[in-house]
Structure 1
Amino acid sequence: MATMIGSGLSNQTGAAVGALAFPVLGPLGVVAVRQYVAAVVLLAVARPRLRDFTRRQWWPVLLLAAVFGTMNLSLYTAVDRIGLGLAVTLEFLGPLTIALAASRRRLDAGCALLAGAGVVVLMRPRPSADYTGMALGLVAACCWASYILLNRVVGRRIPGAQGAAAASAVSALAFLPLGVLVALRHPPTTAAVLCAVAAGLLSSAVPYLADLLTLRHVPAQTFGLFMSVNPVLAALVGLVVLGQEMGGPEWTGIGAVVVANAVSIATARR
């Protein structure tokens, strides 16, 4: 339980700390640094044999790299525009959709309706609504869903975490010129760089290693159930670290999405 809580808090705290560097680096600069850190960590852990990869193995890796980079960039840009809690909640619709799409149970249909109602509440028309930010949150959700599906393909074709490490390295290379461009146009401060590096460590390295440890001792269903509270953790971290307050309707919408996912996982057949 401690590792699951630590992983969730680390992931959301990393995103919040990265947001502190937005005024200097912008979301693009922070994501670029995060991709570099993730690549270094995963390459050190998995040590992929890139020269041995076949064309059949490289194609899903390249797609995974594109999805990984797009997911983080759209999420962090959404965080910059609509706040951490709302952005993470919308992104969470990706894995929730994957979980519900393959089901034929009436209960899961009800869960889908509940989650949909939560999204309607979150995206309701109002003067302060940032629909571009919300759309980016939904892009992140589509990317997360694609990330899950592609990871299954990569996992079947490449042993261990070598595929994920390779995808992370490719994504980091793609962001390298963008990171250089950001640094040239907006010279980074030491504090901003440290925040971006901390975001990479807290949102990539720590959760990855903690989840590996957790899944050795905790059933996948229990792990998935706990993952459903991430939107709540994101909203709380956003409030404490970034001062992003939300009203009752926003908390209600987040709660609906969390409950829909929790009920679906808790009642799923093992």
Structure 2
Amino acid sequence: MVGSGLSTQAGASVAALAFPVLGPVGVVAVRQWVAAVVLLSAGRPRLRSFTAAQWRPVLGLAVVFAVMNMALYTAIDRIGLGLAVTLEFLGPLTVVLSSSRRRIDLVCALAASAAVVVLARPRPSTDYFGIGLALLAAVCWGCYILLNRTVGERLPGLQGSAAAAAVSGLLYVPVGTVVLWLHRPTAGALLCALAAGVLSSAVPFLADLLALRRVPASFFGIFMSVNPVFAALIGMLVLDQHLGWASWSAVAVIVTANAVAVGTAGDRSREKTDGHKAHC
């Protein structure tokens, strides 16, 4: 799980090194192509056998893939890795909180909202567009979770995710080709973009698959909450992006709120299951 988180954020930092040459659009295009190759090899979807009911959530997931990565990488370029990833994590937190009426979840929601205000506090240098893009990535991540459930119910194994990655990669063929033509990639920039695709797609995919065989899904969800911390630390070490104490405090609050919400949601699900078994 540590390897997955570090690889994802290291991939994002390596991608940022290629921004001056390729721009976020060019880097995202290369990453989407790498992700498509990896997931197609792993999922091997039988595209011709998909029904219309199966294609609809797959196409929705493909659009979410495309918009989420573009929004996140552009946000990283504007406001830095740590802040962008922290704001993006509001997406899964919102999904967890939206179906709950418990007091602890209300406290988590209020704490996360206050932390966002701290992160976006008005200053002359505040990049509201970059913050908005990070929040758009958060919305996309929430939609990704909901769509992925539907895709998982309608298609076996990894076929749905693989098909969505393939469609998303195809969507980036025209725009990626134009961007790479206008901004001729250097060998170093292209290597960084390819490395970002491997580190942020292939390595986490394999690591998460192995981790989920060894730890409960609820604990895995809690541990994912440390990703904003990894992002802030790697942004500081690799990209020289330093956060102030107020921003670090806000990151800590959002990480804690996410961990508490996910952890107690898992406890609540187990309680319901145990209660149902006792009743039966």
Question: Which of 1 and 2 has greater Rg?
Answer: 2
TM-score by length of structure 2 reads: 0.94
Alignment of 1:160-239 (within 5 A): 160-239=157-236
Q: CA deviation at 1:266?
A: 2.6
Give the distance between the partners of 2:262 and 2:150, measured in 1 at CA: 23
* Residue 135 of structure 1: aligned partner: 132
Give the distance between the partners of 2:177 and 2:72, measured in 1 at CA: 21
Residue 43 of structure 1, aligned match among 22, 40, 43: 40
* Residue 29 of structure 1: aligned partner: 26
Q: CA deviation at 1:262?
A: 1.2
Unaligned 5+ runs, structure 1: none
| Deviation digits for residues 4-25 of structure 1 (CA, Å, limit 9, x no counterpart) | 0000000000000000000000
| Deviation digits for residues 177-225 of structure 1 (CA, Å, limit 9, x no counterpart) | 1111011111110110110000000001110111111111100111011
**Mapped pair 1:9 → 2:6:** yes
2:245 partner amino acid:
G
Residue 80 of structure 1, aligned match among 77, 102, 105: 77
Aligned identity (percent) is: 66
Give the distance between the partners of 1:78 and 1:151, measured in 2 at CA: 24
Alignment of 1:81-160 (within 5 A): 81-160=78-157
Give the distance between the partners of 2:106 and 2:44, measured in 1 at CA: 42
* Residue 254 of structure 1: aligned partner: 251
Give the distance between the partners of 2:36 and 2:262, measured in 1 at CA: 31
RMSD over aligned CA atoms reads 0.7
Give the distance between the partners of 1:159 and 1:18, measured in 2 at CA: 32
* Residue 265 of structure 1: aligned partner: 262
- SS for the counterpart of 1:21 is helix
Give the distance between the partners of 2:203 and 2:185, measured in 1 at CA: 25
Equivalenced residues, count: 267
Residue 54 of structure 1, aligned match among 48, 51, 57: 51
TM-score by length of structure 1 reads: 0.98
Give the distance between the partners of 2:249 and 2:4, measured in 1 at CA: 24
Give the distance between the partners of 2:180 and 2:221, measured in 1 at CA: 38
